Structure 1
């Protein structure tokens, strides 16, 4: 028994340098434009039997703009960044450089008072492992880049620090196939 899970990264809501921790802003004008450009390739993915999205405004807007009619999943929420929520990486690093270094080096730490990276990866993996696994079933989820990175690290059983080396761009897709505890990354031709 296996399932096919296609993850679509939400469109952008700000430039990469202006992105904020645990951000819940809606799509910006450029994000809407990008969705329209990507729609021909992404709309057919809506044929999945189950369609989900992160509960963020930009994930819901991306999914809705593509006609997916998804069910928002709290388990697909971005990492809880505690007191860093709403700040950019640069803003936090300027005020708490030692805390940022600790956070980047130790996946069990949460100097921001929120969710440690390891717990976040495990939470996303738990969601992945509980998808119905009937041969041929398909799942689609639109999620924040951090959620997609966490899913990949979990699925590949990579060390948590690998999370920082995975670059997930807006409106990119990745396919995972398998079942609880055994996932494969599938690269497909467009």
Structure 2
């Protein structure tokens, strides 16, 4: 039995260099325009049997704007960044350079007082592994790019350091197929299952 889970990256809420850890800001004007620009391409995913989103405001707004009417999944929330919440990477580096270096080097560390990267990847992977499996079943999940990176690292059973080498841009989509413990990256050519990284 195989399941297809398509992750759609939420539209942006800020310019790339101004992205903040655990950002809970709503979509900005550019984000709304991006959604309108790609809506026709991503709309077919609304036919998925199950439609989910992370609790983040921009993920919920993206899912609603695309017509998915998604159910919020707490397990798809962004990584808990503790005292770095609301900071950019540059701001965290300026305040605590050694802590940031430790966090980037060791996926088990949480110098910010929040969630270690390894625990974040495991949490998102646990959500993926507990989806109801029906042969040919389809799920769409709108989430933060960081959540999608964590899902891909988990699905591919890649080393946690791979997380830093995956680029997930807003409103890109990627599909994994399979079942608990046996996931594969899937590339489709139809609009109903877009999986290229923009």
TM surpasses 0.5 = yes
State the alpha-carbon separation in 2 of the partners of residues 64 and 170 from structure 1: 15
- Residue 125 (structure 1) aligned with residue 128 (structure 2): no
Q: Deviations over 1:52-71 (max 9, x none)?
A: 00000000000000010000
Shift of 1:188: 1.9
TM-score when normalising by structure 1: 0.99
Q: Deviations over 1:121-158 (max 9, x none)?
A: 00000000001111011110000000000000000000
State the alpha-carbon separation in 2 of the partners of residues 59 and 148 from structure 1: 12
Shift of 1:162: 0.3
Q: Secondary structure at the match of 1:124?
A: helix
Structure 1 equivalent of residue 110 of structure 2: 110
Q: Deviations over 1:5-43 (max 9, x none)?
A: 000000000001111000011000000000000101001
Shift of 1:176: 0.4
Structure 2 equivalent of residue 82 of structure 1: 82
Structure 1 equivalent of residue 156 of structure 2: 156
Structure 2 residue runs without a partner (length 5+): 192-198
Superposition pairs of residues 1-190 of structure 1, within 5 angstroms? 1-189=1-189, 190=191
State the alpha-carbon separation in 2 of the partners of residues 38 and 110 from structure 1: 37
Structure 1 equivalent of residue 194 of structure 2: none
Q: Deviations over 1:91-149 (max 9, x none)?
A: 01011000000000000000000000000000000000001111011110000000000
For the aligned residue pairs, the C-alpha RMSD in angstroms reads 0.6
Q: Secondary structure at the match of 1:132?
A: coil
Shift of 1:2: 1.3
Shift of 1:181: 0.2
Which aligned runs of 4 or more in structure 1 are off by greater than 2 angstroms? Answer: none
Q: Secondary structure at the match of 2:5?
A: strand
Q: Secondary structure at the match of 1:169?
A: coil
TM-score when normalising by structure 2: 0.95
State the alpha-carbon separation in 2 of the partners of residues 9 and 80 from structure 1: 18
